[in-house]
Structure formats: C-alpha cells, structure tokens
Structure 1
Amino acid sequence: MRLFIAADINSRSKDLIENKLNYIKTEIKNDIKWTEKDKWHLTLKFIGESSTQEKENLIKALKNIDFAEKNEYIQFAKFDAFPSPDSARVIYLGLDRGEKELIELQQRLENELIKYGFEKDERDYIPHLTLGRNKGEAFKIKKELLVPNLFNIYARIESITLYQSQLKKSGPEYIELFSIK
C-alpha cells in the first residue's frame, strides 16, 4: 500500500481557497489537472509502498509525537509553482504564517520515524498545498498572480493523518488510516 502523512486544514478555509482559485483558473489557460478540494492537504512525509507492519509502525510513531501545531492557524499567502514560476509544473499555495512551525513538525516526524526504520528525506521540506499539476509543457505564471497576499487565507490545522493513496485512472483516492484530531 502507498502511504503518506499529512496535515489537514479546516473546510471553511478550503472554501475560501476554492473561491480565490476560481479566479486563478480563469487566468491560467494551460492544461492543468486541478486537485479536488476534498483532497487538499499539506504533505508532511511521503512514505511510498509499505507493508502492513510498516503501517502499524507509522501509527505507533504518530502516537509518540506531540502535535502542538494541531488546532493552530497558518496563513496561505503565496501563489507559486515548482520548480519555479517561470517553469511551472506543480501549482501550489505557500505559507506566510506557520511555515517555521510546520518545518519543525516535519523534522520531529522524520526523527521519530527513523526510530522505526524509515529513511529520512534529505530534501528541504517546503510546506505547501498543491492546487494542480501541469499536464502539458511547463509555462510561465503571469506576474500579477504572483503578488504577495493574493490569497491571504488563514486555515486551522485540524488533524495529522496517515493516508493510503490508491492511484486510479480518475486520479488518486486517499483513504484515512489513522488520524490525530
């Protein structure tokens, strides 16, 4: 089974993001596969293919972590893209407030998972909410969409969740396996 751990945000904030995103969609004419609102999350750790025993170890590790960030507010303020706005492949919302706290949370998670035999991710962690993926050629995002605080939306972290991701023709399906609310 394909697993990942994510921070989930409240539904009211998702509604506010969706309203702003509707405007963005009219400005971007490229072939984007937009992420469905009910699948929005901030990935903390992608695990990948895992056994039942590894899933159980992930749950044990999650139970050991103090999630002080739960019920805290973060602020989405930056519309951006990976690898860059000049060569957009993944379109996302970045954080203004709460970025440091999520990075620290992700590091605590990494350190706890090492105790259970999981490898540490060596890449820098960038907290973000994926809005869509470019299916065609990389493109340049218009400068007016990159202005600071275009979104300026506060969101509450509602839970930290272990998900199973099942890849389907229609897109990934996320199944909640364990959650700390």
Structure 2
Amino acid sequence: MRIFIGIDLDLELKNQIFQLQEKLKPYVSKGNWKYEDNFHLTLRFLGEIEEGQISVIDGAIQSMIDKIKPFKLQLKGGGTFGLKSSTDESKGPLVKVLWLGVDGNMKALNELYFELEFALTEKGFAKDYRDYAPHITLGQDLRFSADIEAVKPYFKALEKSFMARELTLFRSESVGGRRVYRPIRTYAFSPTTLE
C-alpha cells in the first residue's frame, strides 16, 4: 500500500482552493489537476509499504504526537517545481508541480516535521534527506497556454488562515482511474493553549 502522513484541510478551505484551481484552469491546455477531496499538506511520504508496517508507523506517531500543540498556518502565494520553457513557440511552459504556498507559524510546522522524521527513523524508516518544502499541490504535468506570471495574482487572492490540529495517516490508491487519498487514522495534537 502507498502511504503518506500529512495535515488534512477542512471542507471549506478545500472548496476555496478548488475555486482558485478553477480560475487557473483556463491558463492550462493539458495536465493533471488534484481533486478537491485530495488537498492536504504533506509532512512525510513513505511510499509503498507492507500492511504490517502500519502498526510501526502508528507507534512512531504515537511516540511524538503529545509534544505537538495546535498551531496556525496560512495559505500564501504559489509557485512551481520543475518549470520548463518550451522550445516550440506555439506551446507555453511545462510545469511538473503547481503549488499553493504555506506560511504562518513555520517554527511549529518545522518542529512537527523534525519530531515526525526522528520518530520514523527511530522505528527503522529511511531518513528523508530532502529539504522540507511545505506546499499544497494543485496540479501536475501542466502545460500552460500563457506566461506563468499571468496566474500569480490569483494566488494573492487566497491568503486564508487555518489551524493545524491533527496529523492524518493517508493511504493513496487508484479507484476507477482516479487517485484517491483515504485517511487511515488521525492523531490529535495536544489540547493545550493555541500558538
């Protein structure tokens, strides 16, 4: 099974992100857009694992979750990973990942990331050596029909705050040709004073 750990978003925020996505679609001639239900903030992608490892992951999360207090984040800005200009003048740039940025209490988010990373490596999972770049993926492999700069004002219109209150262990699976993220378990942060 394909597994990752992240912060799920509430339905209202997912809908607001979907509305932003709808405004961006006319600028894209082809590509894969994320489904509204799948919007989330990834903390750690674990990839393909055996079903028996779920209890090990659960133990890792349980060992650190009480240290984490709820904290506030904010959607802010957007950007791309893997932007490639086209050599064909009739085509716009190709974007590997179009994402929505995250700001707010980044100290708390990074502490959460490092606590989780430490707990997982203590349980035998390989360390992730990549820099953590928090973002919410909007689409992948998108071919823009216009200059990418044309969409930047849309990101500024969606600078919403939200509370991070729990971690979610997700299973990613293909259902009817569509990628679906299903929560397996959720882990509430320590119910103390909000930061």
Tell me the TM-score normalised to structure 1 length. Answer: 0.85
Q: Which whole-Å deviations, capped at 9, do the CAs of 1:81-103 have from their partners, x for residues lacking one?
A: 11248652111101122334322
Give the superposition deviation at 1:173.
2.1
Q: Of the candidates 110, 117, 120, which is equivalent to residue 113 of structure 1?
A: 120
User: Secondary structure at 1:30's aligned position in 2?
Assistant: strand
| Equivalent residues in 2 for 1:15-54, closer than 5 Å | 15-26=15-26, 28-54=27-53
> Separation in 2 of the partners of 1:104 and 1:83?
27
Kindly indicate whether the alpha-carbon contact (under 8 Å) linking 1:42 and 1:127 is maintained by their aligned counterparts in 2: yes
> Separation in 2 of the partners of 1:174 and 1:21?
18
RMSD: 2.4
User: Residue 152 and residue 83 in structure 1: after superposition, are their counterparts in 2 closer, same or farther (change >3 A)?
Assistant: same
> Separation in 2 of the partners of 1:73 and 1:140?
34
> Separation in 1 of the partners of 2:176 and 2:14?
25
Uncovered stretches (5+) of structure 1, i.e. residues with no partner: none
1:143 counterpart residue number = 149
Give the count of matched residue pairs.
Answer: 178
Higher alpha-carbon Rg = 2
2:181 counterpart residue number = 174
User: Residue 158 and residue 14 in structure 1: after superposition, are their counterparts in 2 closer, same or farther (change >3 A)?
Assistant: farther
After TM superposition, which residue ranges in structure 1, 4 or more long, deviate above 6 angstroms? none
User: Residue 102 and residue 30 in structure 1: after superposition, are their counterparts in 2 closer, same or farther (change >3 A)?
Assistant: farther
Q: Of the candidates 64, 78, 103, which is equivalent to residue 110 of structure 2?
A: 103
> Separation in 1 of the partners of 2:177 and 2:2?
17
Moved more, 109-118 or 151-160: 151-160
Aligned amino acid, residue 114 of structure 2: Q
User: Residue 50 and residue 4 in structure 1: after superposition, are their counterparts in 2 closer, same or farther (change >3 A)?
Assistant: same
> Separation in 2 of the partners of 1:110 and 1:7?
15
2:193 counterpart residue number = none
